[in-house]
Structures are given as structure tokens and as C-alpha cells.
Amino acid sequence: MSRKKLDGKVALITGSSRGIGLATAKEMAKRGASVVLNARGEERLEKARAQLVADGCDVAAFPCDVSSSDACREMVDFAVEKFGRLDILLNNAGVSMRSNFEDLDAELCRKVVDVNLLGCIYPTLYAVPHIKKTRGHLLFISSIAGIIGLPTASLYCATKRGLAGFADSIRCELAPDGVHVGVIYVGFTENDPEKKVIGAGGEGISPDRPAHMTQAQVANEICRVVEHRKRNAVLSPIGKLAGFAAWLSPDLVEQIIIFTRKHKLSEKLNIR
């Protein structure tokens, strides 16, 4: 039987009870990896674990909130105890938001930073010693919002761009140990029906952006980043265009966004 590309590897994927995280767990397991799933909601997480087991995958689950440092240490310890090693940490768990900055309160600001930034930093902190042993992979899920400043997503943009700075720094530190650090800038992707983004009052709002990629396509691209040890990948044609335009002229990109908001074209163009 031919070897699969991730045979013998162990992957820990945060925020993997649904969405892009679950799709990537399926794809990595299909490519031979043993996978540890994570999310806060235990029922949905168990459903995801059972689904993967039924598909013949080698999988375990650890429920916790990644914004807790202690819980992240226990999650990493669990993965290593369960499968004996750790090769891939995919920092995927994240919350999105929809509100003008001036309508936010301090508590909501803290929540987005805690989950999107510290919720990637804590698992990485505890995973590094294990990933060094396997010369493995530390991966971060960013967004188009990590490339250009999308209105009504200020904290989301801050955290998703912050991840790139964090990744660039630890890449330099960990290069001598053979550790791969990759950032994936995900474009608008299909959402599970239960997905919610956070509004100004902390309420859950259903996202209404049209998708440019399926979750399975994103999962496939994430696996390519691992297998080719790529430093980053910008997904979807819109993402690539946004990246190029921001590199060419950030001023022009901002002027276009301001113009479309002023003339109420933003809804149609998905840049509100």
C-alpha cells in the first residue's frame, strides 16, 4: 500500500468541531495524520469526533476554550499523551465581528483579542517544545482582513494582522530547529448554518457574505502549505487581488473602500 503524505504525523487543530477546522481535520486524517479536535461546545465536538471515527480516522477530542492558558497547556499535553508526539499545530479557532469601532465596548474588544490572538499564542507556547522535536509545523489562520483594513472588523483585522507579526518573529527564532511556520490568509469561505459573528452588543449575527471557496478547498490548500512548508498562502482570487492591490497602493485600496461605503456600494462588494 502506498504511503500517504501525512502518515505517522499528529495534528492538533483548534476550533475544529465545524467549519474550516473540521474540514481540515478530515483532509489531514485522509492524508494519514492522527488528529486531535478542539472546540468549546462538547456536544458538537463529540459529533465531529464520532463522524471522523466512523470514517475510519484516528482521532481524539479535547474540549476547551483557547483563550485560557491553563486549558491550552492541558490540550497540548493531552495530544502528546494520546498519540506520543506532535507534528502539526493548526491555530484555527477564531471569532469574527461586525460593528463600527466606536460602538464597541472594552469587554468585546478583549474577547476578540483573547480568542483570535492569545488563543493562538497559548497553544503555540506549549506546543513549541514538541514541534521542535518533530521539526514540525506551526500554522496560523489569518484572513483577507489581515491584509487590508475592512471596515466594521477593526478588532478582527488587528488580530489577524497581529498573527502575521507573531509568526514572522517566531519563524526567525525557530528556523535553526527546523520548525516550519506558515500563515494562511483565508478568503470568504462557505459557512456552516450555525456560524455567528459578534455584533456591537455581543449578540450573534449570521454572516451573509457570499462564499468564494468551499471549506474542502481551503482544507486542501492548508494541507499544501504543510506539505510544501510554505511560509504563507493567500487564498481565493479576491484575496490575491486584495493582497496585490494593498502591496501596490494601500492608499488607493483605502480610497476605494471609503468611496464604496459612502455610496452604499459596500454591501454589494462585501467590504462593509
Ligand X SMILES: NC(=O)c1ccc[n+]([C@@H]2O[C@H](COP(=O)([O-])OP(=O)(O)OC[C@H]3O[C@@H](n4cnc5c(N)ncnc54)[C@H](OP(=O)(O)O)[C@@H]3O)[C@@H](O)[C@H]2O)c1
Burial category of 103 from C-beta neighbours within 10 Å (exposed 0-12, middle 13-18, buried 19 and up): exposed
For residues 20 and 104, which CB has a smaller minimum distance to ligand X in the complex? 20
What are the backbone angles phi and psi of residue 39, rounded to the nearest 5°? -175, 175
* Nearest distance in Å: CB 175, ligand X: 25
6 binds ligand X (CB under 6 A): no
Span from 37-45, 81-89, 102-110, 248-256 in contact with ligand X (CB under 6 A): 37-45
Which of 5, 30, 31, 40 binds ligand X (CB under 6 A)? It is: 40
The answer to whether 19 and 195 are in contact (CB under 8 A) is yes
36 binds ligand X (CB under 6 A): no
Longest dimension (CA), the chain: 60
Span from 8-16, 172-180, 222-230, 261-269 in contact with ligand X (CB under 6 A): 8-16
Span from 28-36, 65-73, 163-171, 226-234 in contact with ligand X (CB under 6 A): 65-73
Give Cα 132 distance to the centre of its chain: 21
Counting DSSP H helices and E strands in the chain, the numbers are 10, 10
Active site annotation includes 185: no
Span from 189-197, 226-234, 245-253, 255-263 in contact with ligand X (CB under 6 A): 189-197
Q: Cite the beta strand spans of the chain per DSSP E.
A: 10-13, 34-39, 59-63, 88-91, 97-98, 137-143, 180-186, 197-199, 204-205, 232-234
Query: At how many degrees (to 10) do helices 237-248 and 250-262 cross?
Result: 120
For residues 56 and 193, which CB has a smaller minimum distance to ligand X in the complex? 193
73 binds ligand X (CB under 6 A): no
For residues 19 and 136, which CB has a smaller minimum distance to ligand X in the complex? 19
- In order of 112, 131, 144, 197, the CA distances from 157 in angstroms are 10, 28, 8, 14
Which of the following is catalytic: 122, 126, 156, 185?
156
d(CA 70, CA 131): 19
21 binds ligand X (CB under 6 A): yes
For residues 66 and 251, which CB has a smaller minimum distance to ligand X in the complex? 66
Residues in the site for ligand X, rule: CB under 6 A? 14-21, 38-41, 44, 65-67, 92-96, 115, 119, 141, 143, 186, 188-189, 191-192, 195
Give the active site residues: 156
